[in-house]
Amino acid sequence: MTLTIDIETYSPIDLARCGVYKSAEDLDFSILLFGYAVDDGEVKVVDLAKGERIPEEILLALTDPLVTKWAFNAAFERVCLSRYLREHCPSHFLSYGKESDTVGKYLDPLGWKCSQVLASSLGFPLSLKDLGEALGLSEKKMDEGSRLIGLFSLPGPEGRRKPEDYPEEWALFKKYNRRDLEVERAVRRSFSSYKTPAALWEEYHEDQRINDRGIPVDIPFVHAAMAMGDRAQTELLGRLKHLTGLLNPTSPCQMKDWLSAHGTHAESLTKKEVARLLSSSTGAVREALTLYGQAQKSSLAKYGAMTGAVCSDGRARGMFRFYGAARSGRWAGRYIQLQNLPQNHLEDLLLARSLVMEGDYEKMDFLYGSVPDTLSQLIRTAFVARKGYTFIVSDFSSIEARVLSYMAREKWRMDVFAGNLDIYAQSASKMFSKPVVKGGINSELRQKGKIAELALGYGGGEGALKAMGALDMGLTEEELKPLVTSWRTTNPHIVDYWWKVDRAVKEAIENHRIMRVGTLTIFLQKGILFIELPSGRRLAYIGAAMKMGEKGYKVITYMGVGATKKWERIESYGPKFVENIIQAVSRDILCQAMKNLQGRYICGHVHDELIIECPVDTPVSEITEAMAEMPDWMPGLVMRADGYEAGYYKKE
């Protein structure tokens, strides 16, 4: 039996800002419409808002792991139905954990599948409307949806709108619910001929467990930090107004005019541009730029995001979108966005945290100079393990560099990693044909090796070095091209790998041949280019074709969401495909680490790092050793995981 589900809900909580977990626990939350279909049967809509009841056999199916439940963005349906069953049908509610383990409120994700994940794994858009259009479905999402959701799912100025007050719109809302379910089912039919590895759904279920657990937030600290941030903002703005005489000195237009009047021309006032201007400014201009930069500390908004997303038990849930990046399958961040938290460089984080809790603004200002910058560095520490537990944070060392070296069979690099040596120093040593030791002989060359390693692995040239900040690090324009040449000469197998992949992709598209490059299998199926990875997972590029490019020669193109955030044709080439491949394999290795650590309380992950809540006596080595166990589909890959234990999250 397969059950397809789509629901419409009401909650005063802003779903886009706070997420479904926070929305579904609000006292005024309710499910309005429950649309469902069994197998390929008739789509039915249960009007819960008007007192209709979900059939008994459907209630039983919701908690039966042998019944596959499909929904588009299935986490929404699963979490909302968890609340509904607990409240209205407690005899049918069956959780998969204890209330004390923080997952006891939710239906077991086992048995649930998400058609949004399925679409993303095949390279399609994440929105149901865009997906239906990309597939050319005859069933299309109704354009009236946003208006109807605004009418019935959210409170208005006069409060909640009831179905009986808007009978025509309510009938249309039920039609909208039915149509969404029909579109979702049509999407699945469109994908039925493509293979979906069972491992993908195992990873999805683990992702849902991590999102259900949530990550604990120190809300008293967050409130104290917000209060201190507000005071800092008020004082900075006052000083900036006094210095410049401007009515709104945080306005880029007004500030640029003021700078121009004082002999400093600024094209923009981005963080990078302000830093550049500061390096050559003096006097009032320098002071104004310093104050302006501090006043624009947008990272402090993270504290507000925490208060919005945290649930009643002090844990922020739903922070990770599974398969958020279609080109690699990596996660995307949500709400608080753990993937782009500011780094911390303070040595005395505990002291700084205590000053925030005490509200000692003067001492904070005296000790650290910039209160906004200090608060920014403390954002990570707002995540604090629950009583009796600690965080063990473990991440892979140079995972992409290791995977690239392994996949391209660049032996000297593999030997560096096997010997646990510094890749930046060793790379510089190879590039410049002289010994380089971090903090020792020729150590000044290590920085050049580092920037080359970070910028050039995926076909990057001088532009990539500049984007990585090479000029800001002291390199000159004249040094960039020789640096690119030297790195490529030093890594011939990696360069060769770029173009082997390039040729294989072109051959697969033009001649419909199955191509193999090392452990990759590349082929075309019904207009989708697939690159099968060592794990068995496949990257997908829709509508792959060879087109005449602007420079007069054929280029590889495919359909995807591009830089404009629109569904469009994108050009690509070998090194870019290699970047997708390496990031995807790195992602699969992280999934393997999660599998190795099953039974542990993983509550978050950032890039190639896992955040695990452990009993206080857990050895860090238990976690790092389990992470470093490589899957059998990557034989011989040497990986190292480093970790630390702390009561709060930080960046070591």
Q: Which of 535, 554, 570 is closest to 121 using CA atoms? A: 535
Instruction: Name the one residue in this structure whose structure tokens are 């979702």.
Output: 184
pLDDT score of 576 more than 70 = yes
* Position 133 pLDDT exceeds 90: no
Residue 531 contacts residue 522 (beta carbons within 8 Å): yes
Going from the C-alpha of 203 to that of each of 112, 294, 588, the distances in angstroms are 12, 41, 9
397-430 pLDDT, tens digit per residue, is: 999 999 999 999 999 999 999 999 999 999 999 9
* All domains in the chain, ordered by first residue: 2-192 (3.30.420.10), 219-382 (no CATH), 384-400+509-652 (3.30.70), 411-490 (no CATH)
pLDDT at 101: 64
Query: 3-state class of 305 per DSSP?
Result: helix
Instruction: Over range 41-60, report the average pLDDT.
Output: 96
Alpha-carbon gap, residue 225 to 221, rounded angstroms: 6
At residue 407, the pLDDT reads 98
Residue 280 tokens, joined: 């050559």
Question: Quick one: pLDDT at residue 100?
Answer: 55
Which helix (H) or strand (E) covers residue 188, if one does?
A: helix 167-191
% of the chain beyond a pLDDT of 70? 99
Region 298-304 average pLDDT: 87
Residue 73, pLDDT score: 96
pLDDT (0 to 100) of residue 472: 78
- Asked whether the CA dihedral 497, 503, 506, 509 is positive or negative, the reply is negative
Residue 548: alpha-carbon gap to chain centroid: 34
Give 29's contacts (C-beta < 8 A, 6+ positions apart).
Answer: 9, 10, 11, 13, 23, 80, 83
Residue from 598, 603, 600, 596 nearest 639 by CA: 596
Q: pLDDT tens digit string along 99-131?
A: 556 777 899 999 999 999 999 999 999 988 888
Strand arrangement of the beta sheet that strand 389-396 belongs to: 601-606, 609-615, 389-396, 641-646
- Whether the CB-CB separation of 134 and 124 falls below 8 Å is answered with yes
Identify whether the C-beta of residue 110 lies closer than 8 Å to the C-beta of residue 65.
yes
DSSP 163: G
Q: Is the pLDDT of residue 557 over 70?
A: yes
What DSSP designation does 632 have? T
Closest CA to 630 of 450, 339, 417, 453: 417
Which tokens belong to 263?
């002999």
Secondary structure (3-state) at 602: strand
Per residue in 282-296, pLDDT (tens digit) is 999 999 998 888 887
Per-residue pLDDT tens for 479-528? 899 999 999 999 999 999 999 999 999 999 999 999 999 999 999 999 99
Which residues have a Cβ under 8 Å from the Cβ of 453 and sit 6 or more positions away? 401, 423, 424, 427, 487
Among the ranges given (74-78, 277-281, 333-337, 344-348), the one the predictor scored with the smallest mean pLDDT? 277-281
Q: Is the pLDDT of residue 298 over 80?
A: no
Question: Token pair of 217, please?
Answer: 């937030």
High-pLDDT (> 90) share of the chain, %? 79
Helix (H, G, I), strand (E, B) or coil at 28: coil
pLDDT exceeds 70 at position 264: yes
**Interval 463-486 mean pLDDT:** 89
Q: Which of 226-240, 468-482, 512-526, 561-575 has the highest mean pLDDT?
A: 512-526
Rounded to whole angstroms, the Cα distance separating 34 from 9 reads 9
Tell whether the model's pLDDT for residue 551 goes beyond 80.
no
| Residue range 201-224: mean pLDDT, rounded | 97
Residue 331: pLDDT over 90: yes
Q: What angle do CA 579, 581, 582 make, to 5 degrees?
A: 70
What pLDDT is attached to residue 95? Answer: 75
Q: What is the mean pLDDT of the chain?
A: 93
Highest mean pLDDT pick, 63-67, 263-267, 534-538, 566-570? 534-538
Please tell me the distance from the alpha carbon of residue 205 to that of residue 16, in angstroms, as a whole number.
23
Determine the Cα angle at 213 with ends 209 and 217, to 5°: 150
323 φ, ψ to 5°?
A: 55, 40
